[in-house]
Structure 1
Amino acid sequence: MSNHLFLFTISPVQSFISQARKTQDLYSGSQLLSHLIEIAIDKLEKIDSISEVEIIFPFKDTPSKPNRFIAKIITENPQGVGEILEKAIQEKFKQLCNDRFKDKPGFTSIQKSFNNQIENFLEIFWLAIPFEENYFSTFEKIEKYLGGVKNIRAFKQLPEKGRKCSLCGERNVLFYKDRNSDDRKRNIDSYVSVDKKDYRFLTGEGLCAICATKRYYDTKIESFPSTARIGLLHALHEIKKKPEGYVLIENYKKIFGSQFDEQLYHKENLNKKYFEKHDLKESISKLKTIQTQQNLIANYASKYNIHLAKYYAVVTFDGDSMGEWLSGEKIKNNLVNLESFHRLISQKLGDFSKFAINILKAPNYKDIAIIKNEYFGKTTYAGGDDYLGFVNLNYLFQVLLSLKTKFNDMVNQTIKNEFELNNPEDNFTFSAGIALAHYKTPLSIALEWARNMQKLAKKVEGKDAVGFALLKHSGNIAQSVLKWNYHELKVETMVLAINLTTALKNHLSNKFLYTLREEFLHLIDPKTKIKGLYKEIQSELFRLMNRHIKKKNTNGALNVAVSTNDPDLDVLAKQLSDLIVEIDKMSLESLDAFNNFISFLEICNFISRET
């Protein structure tokens, strides 16, 4: 038997996961792909024609598996191994999909079309190459061959005519929730009628086999919180701290039973039109009672200065220069060290992925108690060097700081301690994209903005950056891209964001921000650097921040005081002044330095108001 390097991948990934109306769709898509890779790895280890298997990447204990794995296998029939795995995954995927619907009335009438969609969806690629003189050259060759195979992939045509899926828009509708008893003329030849009480479908929504499977993937999986719930996590916890608040919340939820959704905490949704659209027709007769109960909750929240937030953050990040790291380009003696490097990086990324999931579960900060295992938000996917999750705005900067710090400690520093790098100044980093969105913003738009900001962050020289997009419900968008750390700043960017947000929330008026913007907006050419105005901007920043300090008057209300000296604000003003200089050194064609800086201030100000 001979030694082979074996690579196995499942596609598509991004489109399958991101085509989602609900957060549950997103979560189920990522979990399903991860589950299929786990099945493939498990099957590989049980094939009789293989005498030995070593999984190199990913680390076997990684909770969310990526869509590929690399292994060393000893076998005389590598082609047979690949064919067995491909067939096993296709059959398992078909079984998983069929099991969700086989007992539904009318399923047999669409089963042929259903299986056609399922069988033509997954794209599975695998390669097996005999080991050459070393792991380095074999890995280099298998990656090159994989790229070639994907470039000449076979085209599968699925001839379908009719109404397309509400989520993906690619395949025909096979599951449809009727608007009324006569709603049958929808250009759909044959479909399964979804029960009107099935809250997983909106009235009039139609899904294909793939998207319906995501929607129904596994009833055992804990329901993924909606964007409205993510935004309200902190507020609900604060309200439920006291018995009075707890009773208000529980009594309100009982009105709706299993159809309750956190959007119902917001007054704008308590109307007949919303109830009809979301299949709450039975509650329309109780609308006045519901509005009264919601008003009691709103008044209770206002009494204790609790904000019923409507915004949340979607966070995505990806390792920088992963191709260079995995190819061994950045480490010395890569001909000898690449395999051990891959094993170490696989293990450490697996360890970090566990932390990335648990950071949103486990209380790392004081005064945060459990809310059904949700503390700061919920992770959708954490594969090690890539991540997707939803975070409550109250904890956004703290969570980002923890993720960045732990990635450096657990992954980067371990690599630098274990392996000698060609350039000792190199660091294994990641760049992130964050979108702050209203709960009514379509999920696909929020995801697109988060990924766009991640791409923009990766255009920063040296990367190791983070991009923010604030998507206001009014339509206005603020964008800011920053490095995680600036050597000259002597404070981490997220720490600076936390300090500024805290100051704005407590004693600093946001008037300084708007005044600064108005004063300099027309003095700075967006196409040039602002270096010539450093001193003027810095001097005005100090003056405005000290001028616009809030203090309590005799009635306890906050007013703006004039020319009040605050040592802490002087430190903060100095840090912000230094940040302007550092931002100006960055080169981003689509985002000029001054607007980048002002947008950062606006985002911090927005979070201070929404938390």
Structure 2
Amino acid sequence: MVNVAKYTAITFAPVQGFIEKSRKLRDLYGASLILSYLSQQLVKEAEKTTTVISPAIPNLQKGMPNRILIKGEFSKSQVEKTVLSAWKRMLQECRWWIEAKLPDYTYHWEREWTNWGNHAWEIFWGEGDSIQAAMDNLETRKLSRGWTAVNWIGESSSLTGTDGIAFPGLGATTRNPKFLIYHSEQEEIKEFYTKLARKLDNCPPDKEPEGKYIAPNEKLSIPELVKRLITLPEIVDLINKASPNNQPLEKLKRFHEIERKQTDTTPGQWTGWFMADGDKVGDYLKKLADGNNTDQEIQKFSDAIRHWGEQFSENFPKNLGRVVYAGGDDFLGIIYSENSVEPIKPLEAFEWLMTLNNQWKEHQQPINLSVGFVWVAGSVPQRDVLQHCREAEKVAKSLGRNRVTIRVVFNSGQYVQWTCPWDYLHILNKYQDREKQSNWSHIYQDLAHLESRRTFKIENKNEAYTVQKSAIEFFDIYFPGEGKKLLEDKNNKLAQHLVGFNEKDDEIDRAKATIDWITDLIEVGWHLCSNT
């Protein structure tokens, strides 16, 4: 009887939600450190008895993907034990550190920390006699979710509003929801977070803490608190000391919080956020799984992508911002200035964005990239910024992939956006006004005037071609020759490539999509490329 090799596919959740529940840049890094660490613990444990096919470069913790493919048998109970033991170790050391640093409280919260240790993560596991079978089995099992929510009483955290506030009296038996007056606990909570903020900032009792780790007016849940504390080197040392036989948790290096909001001395800082994802990676892996030398080909792919992510993080210009995580085919980064008095100019951010796709191609794998790039005003909450990034990335995917959606978000929450294939992004550099200069105010003002007269408004099918032609001719005035290409595009192939409309769309929808693409280009170009 032939012995057929077993394959195991593993992942866990929530990942994106865990990252996006953030107010500070420190939250993003803390979440990324935790996720990467948990994934690496899985990989290291699996390596003891099996062969890990993906992810490659297991010693590189930063950006470690949470989808793991193994040649061999690795049971779901082993996965749960590995993930939960590493997670519980983090929780335990964070809780003990707080209790040791603030010993004057009587703590009733051990049960709540235990609940979060048991119920924070949902494990997904699949197996099969081939890589494809294991991956399919994983996806099937993901349809049946078994996550358990952590119950709580009282007021919710000020960050997400979905979980209970972590404070010494959280689990007290005297907190009967029938008689609990929530506002009566406010002073106790405020005092606790003020003392904790002072301790983290090494701040004397007679001074207000800066809030480097926690602001005194914050009220965080247990996992939110852990994401902050995990960025403290002292706590990382305690975690690593408690787990000497495992891969150590890396410390956060070169951290600088972004000063985005307006202050008495500085204006609000505009920043650029980019969220990216490789196109159809799952389909490509399935293709590799159906071929010869399956294990080696997938390992080679994973190694190339992971190596690229490592180099991308290392080589990102330090004066331009930071990469939060780069797991390979998905990454998140921020363009900002550490000196808010001298913010990064929008044109400088766009010029860097122009280089991103060529940087991506350096891994030499047949995978394209879709990106959501958000240029955002300083008063927009960070969790909203991340949601804008996610939405912009989805738009880029939905309009044909291999493109970037640029979204400019204002303090009001309103935004303008434009989606463009990578091979045509340079169009913004071809702008020139009637004086052969690059004053974007001219085209912006002309567009506003034409739109006020409803020049580009299509009322019925008979007007579609004429109105679209007028918009393209207007476009050609300021982008010489580019409009002509669209007018000569008899089969709509170029327009379809640029705009991303569906072949099944009717004439009116195509015309409207083309006009919107031109006007959106002007709106975004004016905000990113204008010198005024």
2:423 pairs with 1:479:
no
Question: What corresponds to 2:406 in structure 1?
Answer: 468
- Report how far residue 389 of structure 1 moved: 1.1
Q: Which amino acid aligns with 1:496?
A: I
- CA 1:595 to 1:535, structure 2 compared with 1: closer, same or farther past 3 Å? closer
- Report how far residue 12 of structure 1 moved: 0.8
Q: Which amino acid aligns with 1:53?
A: T
Structure 2 matches for 1:105-116, cutoff 5 A?
105=102, 106=105, 108-116=107-115
Structure 2 matches for 1:367-406, cutoff 5 A?
374-392=318-336, 393-406=346-359
TM-score computed with the length of structure 1 as normaliser: 0.66
Question: What corresponds to 1:281 in structure 2?
Answer: none
Q: Which amino acid aligns with 2:312?
A: A
- Report how far residue 540 of structure 1 moved: 3.7
2-side partners of 1:190 and 1:581: how far apart?
A: 57
- Report how far residue 498 of structure 1 moved: 4.2
Q: Which amino acid aligns with 2:514?
A: A
- Report how far residue 441 of structure 1 moved: 0.5
Structure 2 matches for 1:90-489, cutoff 5 A?
90-98=87-95, 100-105=97-102, 106=105, 108-129=107-128, 132=129, 138-175=130-167, 185-186=184-185, 192-195=192-195, 197=209, 199=211, 200-220=213-233, 221-222=252-253, 224-228=255-259, 263=261, 266=262, 269-270=263-264, 294=265, 310-328=269-287, 334-361=290-317, 374-392=318-336, 393-412=346-365, 415=366, 428-461=367-400, 463-485=401-423
Question: What corresponds to 2:243 in structure 1?
Answer: none
Question: What corresponds to 1:37 in structure 2?
Answer: 39
Secondary structure of the equivalent of 1:103? helix
Q: Which amino acid aligns with 1:140?
A: Q
- CA 1:223 to 1:59, structure 2 compared with 1: closer, same or farther past 3 Å? closer
Secondary structure of the equivalent of 1:398? helix
- Report how far residue 45 of structure 1 moved: 2.8
- CA 1:147 to 1:594, structure 2 compared with 1: closer, same or farther past 3 Å? same
Q: Once structures 1 and 2 are overlaid, which stretch shifts more, 597-606 or 504-513?
A: 504-513
- Report how far residue 188 of structure 1 moved: 9.2
Secondary structure of the equivalent of 1:126? strand
- Report how far residue 353 of structure 1 moved: 0.8
- Report how far residue 471 of structure 1 moved: 1.1
Question: What corresponds to 1:56 in structure 2?
Answer: 54
1-side partners of 2:17 and 2:228: how far apart?
A: 15
- CA 1:45 to 1:140, structure 2 compared with 1: closer, same or farther past 3 Å? closer
Secondary structure of the equivalent of 1:153? coil
Given candidates 473, 498, 510, the residue that maps to 2:441 is 510
**Do the aligned residues in 1 keep the contact of 2:24 with 2:257 (CA within 8 Å)?**
yes
**Do the aligned residues in 1 keep the contact of 2:433 with 2:442 (CA within 8 Å)?**
no
- CA 1:111 to 1:527, structure 2 compared with 1: closer, same or farther past 3 Å? farther
Secondary structure of the equivalent of 2:259? helix
1-side partners of 2:194 and 2:436: how far apart?
A: 47
Given candidates 516, 524, 530, the residue that maps to 1:595 is 516
Q: Which amino acid aligns with 1:402?
A: T
1-side partners of 2:13 and 2:496: how far apart?
A: 44
Question: What corresponds to 1:27 in structure 2?
Answer: 29
**Do the aligned residues in 1 keep the contact of 2:313 with 2:326 (CA within 8 Å)?**
yes
Question: What corresponds to 1:422 in structure 2?
Answer: none
1-side partners of 2:157 and 2:281: how far apart?
A: 35
- CA 1:536 to 1:127, structure 2 compared with 1: closer, same or farther past 3 Å? closer
2-side partners of 1:104 and 1:470: how far apart?
A: 44
**Do the aligned residues in 2 keep the contact of 1:61 with 1:350 (CA within 8 Å)?**
no
- CA 1:309 to 1:156, structure 2 compared with 1: closer, same or farther past 3 Å? closer
**Do the aligned residues in 2 keep the contact of 1:10 with 1:122 (CA within 8 Å)?**
yes
Question: What corresponds to 2:343 in structure 1?
Answer: none
**Do the aligned residues in 2 keep the contact of 1:64 with 1:383 (CA within 8 Å)?**
yes
- CA 1:519 to 1:143, structure 2 compared with 1: closer, same or farther past 3 Å? same
2-side partners of 1:148 and 1:79: how far apart?
A: 15
- CA 1:321 to 1:530, structure 2 compared with 1: closer, same or farther past 3 Å? farther
Secondary structure of the equivalent of 1:54? strand
**Do the aligned residues in 2 keep the contact of 1:7 with 1:142 (CA within 8 Å)?**
yes
2-side partners of 1:504 and 1:186: how far apart?
A: 66
- CA 1:349 to 1:214, structure 2 compared with 1: closer, same or farther past 3 Å? same
1-side partners of 2:430 and 2:257: how far apart?
A: 29
Count residues in correspondence.
459
Secondary structure of the equivalent of 2:383? helix
Unaligned segments of structure 1, at least 5 residues: 133-137, 177-182, 230-262, 271-293, 299-307, 362-373, 416-427, 486-491, 546-568
1-side partners of 2:389 and 2:31: how far apart?
A: 18
Question: What corresponds to 2:248 in structure 1?
Answer: none
- Report how far residue 190 of structure 1 moved: 7.6
1-side partners of 2:158 and 2:354: how far apart?
A: 37
**Do the aligned residues in 2 keep the contact of 1:434 with 1:468 (CA within 8 Å)?**
yes
- Report how far residue 335 of structure 1 moved: 3.7
**Do the aligned residues in 2 keep the contact of 1:437 with 1:471 (CA within 8 Å)?**
yes
Deviations 1:412-441 (A, max 9, x none): 3xx4xxxxxxxxxxxx21211122111111
Q: Which amino acid aligns with 1:322?
A: V
Backbone CA RMSD of aligned residues: 3.7
Question: What corresponds to 2:176 in structure 1?
Answer: none
1-side partners of 2:375 and 2:434: how far apart?
A: 20
Secondary structure of the equivalent of 2:100? coil
**Do the aligned residues in 2 keep the contact of 1:531 with 1:584 (CA within 8 Å)?**
no
Question: What corresponds to 1:606 in structure 2?
Answer: 527
Unaligned segments of structure 2, at least 5 residues: 169-181, 196-207, 234-251, 337-345
Q: Which amino acid aligns with 2:276?
A: F
- Report how far residue 323 of structure 1 moved: 2.2
Structure 2 matches for 1:433-582, cutoff 5 A?
433-461=372-400, 463-485=401-423, 492-493=424-425, 495-500=426-431, 507-519=438-450, 521-525=454-458, 531-533=465-467, 536-543=470-477, 545=478, 570=480
- Report how far residue 173 of structure 1 moved: 0.4
- Report how far residue 64 of structure 1 moved: 0.7
Deviations 1:378-412 (A, max 9, x none): 11111111111112434322332322112224233
2-side partners of 1:390 and 1:434: how far apart?
A: 10
- Report how far residue 19 of structure 1 moved: 0.5
Deviations 1:140-179 (A, max 9, x none): 2222222232222324243311111112322210149xxx
**Do the aligned residues in 2 keep the contact of 1:58 with 1:69 (CA within 8 Å)?**
no
- CA 1:198 to 1:185, structure 2 compared with 1: closer, same or farther past 3 Å? farther
- Report how far residue 338 of structure 1 moved: 3.3
Secondary structure of the equivalent of 1:586? coil
TM-score computed with the length of structure 2 as normaliser: 0.75
1-side partners of 2:209 and 2:275: how far apart?
A: 34
- CA 1:2 to 1:580, structure 2 compared with 1: closer, same or farther past 3 Å? closer
**Do the aligned residues in 1 keep the contact of 2:53 with 2:298 (CA within 8 Å)?**
no
Q: Once structures 1 and 2 are overlaid, which stretch shifts more, 314-323 or 154-163?
A: 154-163
Secondary structure of the equivalent of 2:36? helix
2-side partners of 1:154 and 1:12: how far apart?
A: 12
1-side partners of 2:437 and 2:117: how far apart?
A: 55
